[in-house]
Amino acid sequence: MLVLVGAASAAPTGWTLKSDVLGINVDVQSSSELPDLANGPGFYTGIPTRPGMGVTVAIAGHRTTHGAWFNKIDLFRKGNSVYMTSPQGRVFRYRFIRSRVVRENDVNGILRDLNEDKLVFSACTPKGQRTHRYVAEFIPESKWEELHQKRR
């Protein structure tokens, strides 16, 4: 997994991630360091953003090992929902909008437009290999509704 500079604390954050597509409802770990990812998907190390801050939130997860939390990351379809719940119980709903594949160390390809309010998942691809990253991108429910009202 991509690891950015920062300290890992090997602890859950109090945030949970729920996805019917992935079949998970799990605690999000405090980093994208390998030991943390064995316990669940993790917020990118070195990027201290969380839902509700109006900027990109990035989460890494394994596809074939250590729980395989993002094993089905490539099954998301436009409009599929994921939910992030804060330690205080606030629920943030995001909708899938697009995916892409980038080289393993292409941080810019994974974390495009950091000042944009969105959620990004990344995992190794092809399954069982570490040469590339599959990136799934989501926007907040409010943006999704706004985009679809304009199309009507």
Domain-located, residue 5: no
- pLDDT attached to residue 66: 83
- pLDDT attached to residue 2: 39
Determine if the pTM surpasses 0.75: yes
- pLDDT attached to residue 106: 85
Domain containing 23: what range? 12-151
Domain-located, residue 4: no
Contact 37, 60 (CB under 8 A): yes
- pLDDT attached to residue 95: 98
Q: Which residues of the chain have pLDDT under 50?
A: 1-9
Domain-located, residue 98: yes
Contact 11, 40 (CB under 8 A): no
Residue type, 123: A
**Residue whose entry in the numeric block shows the structure tokens 């119980």:** 89
